[in-house]
Amino acid sequence: MPLLIRRPSDIRPSEITSPEHFSRRRELIAALGLGLGAAGLALPRHALAAPAPAGVSPPTGFPPVARAAPGSPWFSDEAQTPKSAITSYGNFYEYGVDKADPGKYAPGLLKTRPWTVAVEGEVLKPRTFAIDDLLKLAPLEERIYRLRCVEGWSMVVPWVGYSLSALINKVEPTGNAKFIEFVTLADPAQMPGVRSPLLDWPYVEGLRLDEARHPLTLLGLGLYGEALPAQNGAPVRIVVPWKYGFKSVKSIVKIRFLREQPTSTWTRAAPSEYGFYSNVNPAVDHPRWSQKTERRLGEWRRRPTLPFNGYADQVASLYAGMDLKKNF
């Protein structure tokens, strides 16, 4: 299957970063003398020689999952992207900028037990959840969602999790909470990429509270009926299917409820290229490439990109009256 072959129309890692950031990356690679070539982030040598996964607790006893069946709001009859492709082609800059890096390095380095997620800020009941509490907080559901990366590739993933609103309701946001921020782990021992100044670590992303409460917004704990693979953001991530993939933040350790809009990592890196909303929108091109079409992993022909990634009937009302060209 031609899944991993780069097509000329794909956006290269050098292109998702702004030219300024990309040159910082090249300087860093040169400074460290790693000679990784244009496609590799400056990973320390020990990471490049990462041992086979050992001591990284493979989750056992994953709870039962209610499968999405025809008639369920989470069902889709679109062809699902094979698990082998979902786990070997992705973005997780904490492990490198090449699409294959997360699958190569994260499974051997990321320790997913013990793991906690601290929930704080404008809430009446701040709380730190252990991952096993999160697995039990609500029944696990299969959610078959499209994921559209800002770079122009896409896939269909049978995620496992439940609406983030289940967690939000437990902590009871105050009337002041208007936004929510998600923070990824940034441990250089487990994530060698965070030693590079490519991005401001930790990776953070944010949503408006009503977006976070929308039933489609998923607290992701697995895919294909099993625990999340390390490279896909184990043990817990967010999935917001109507937004570009970079809003779907991986391996989260903190959730903050805020009065003011947070600045996301990619917005900080290149504000004119990656806005806070980042709703999938074929009518607003990226300044350096078109967003009108996308390539589904496993397919050769590009297909049209749909407004809100095909979820407009469910989410467009969240943006009523807003100019989505300005609020990109």
Cβ of 322: how many Cβ atoms within 10 Å? 11
- Tell whether residue 201 is a contact of ligand MTE (CB under 6 A): no
231 contacts 106 by C-beta, under 8 angstroms: yes
Using the contact rule CB under 6 A, the part of the chain among 19-27, 33-41, 43-51, 243-251 near ligand MTE is 243-251
Closest CB 249 distance from ligand MTE, rounded Å: 5
Among 22, 92, 105, 115, binds ligand MTE (CB under 6 A): 92
Instruction: Give the pair of three-digit tokens for residue 256.
Output: 């903050």
- Tell whether residue 203 is a contact of ligand MTE (CB under 6 A): yes
- Tell whether residue 196 is a contact of ligand MTE (CB under 6 A): no
- Tell whether residue 101 is a contact of ligand MTE (CB under 6 A): no
- Tell whether residue 248 is a contact of ligand MTE (CB under 6 A): yes
Using the contact rule CB under 6 A, the part of the chain among 5-13, 56-64, 208-216, 245-253 near ligand MTE is 245-253
Nearest to 235 by CA among 182, 185, 201, 195: 185
Instruction: Give the pair of three-digit tokens for residue 5.
Output: 């072959």
- Tell whether residue 279 is a contact of ligand MTE (CB under 6 A): no
- Tell whether residue 184 is a contact of ligand MTE (CB under 6 A): yes
Dist CA 256 CA 219 (whole Å): 15
3-class DSSP state for residue 295? strand
Number of shown-chain residues binding ligand MTE (CB under 6 A): 17
Using the contact rule CB under 6 A, the part of the chain among 39-47, 53-61, 162-170, 240-248 near ligand MTE is 240-248
- Tell whether residue 250 is a contact of ligand MTE (CB under 6 A): yes
182 contacts 249 by C-beta, under 8 angstroms: yes
The distance in angstroms from the start CA to the end CA of the chain is 35
- Tell whether residue 232 is a contact of ligand MTE (CB under 6 A): yes
- Tell whether residue 88 is a contact of ligand MTE (CB under 6 A): no
Question: What are 173's strand-pairing partners?
Answer: 123
| Shorter beta-carbon distance to ligand MTE: residue 119 or 230 | 230
Among 245, 276, 311, 328, binds ligand MTE (CB under 6 A): 245
- Tell whether residue 291 is a contact of ligand MTE (CB under 6 A): no
- Tell whether residue 91 is a contact of ligand MTE (CB under 6 A): yes
Give residues 35-64 in contact with ligand MTE (rule: CB under 6 A): none
Transcribe 195-252 into DSSP letters. GSTTS-SSPEEEEEHHHHHSTT-EEEEEETTEEPPGGGT-S-EEE-TTB-GGGS--SE
Nearest to 50 by CA among 95, 116, 91: 95
Using the contact rule CB under 6 A, the part of the chain among 28-36, 129-137, 165-173, 242-250 near ligand MTE is 242-250
Instruction: Give the pair of three-digit tokens for residue 242.
Output: 């109507």
Using the contact rule CB under 6 A, the part of the chain among 18-26, 64-72, 85-93, 161-169 near ligand MTE is 85-93
Dist CA 98 CA 1 (whole Å): 20
Instruction: Give the pair of three-digit tokens for residue 255.
Output: 């959730």
Using the contact rule CB under 6 A, the part of the chain among 18-26, 84-92, 283-291, 300-308 near ligand MTE is 84-92
Give the CB-nearest residue to ligand MTE.
90
153 contacts 10 by C-beta, under 8 angstroms: yes
| Shorter beta-carbon distance to ligand MTE: residue 173 or 230 | 230
Spell out the residues 6+ positions from residue 216 whose beta carbon is closer than 8 angstroms to its own: 145, 163, 240, 241, 242, 311, 314, 315
Residues that bind ligand MTE (CB under 6 A): 90-94, 147, 149, 184, 203, 232-233, 245-246, 248-251
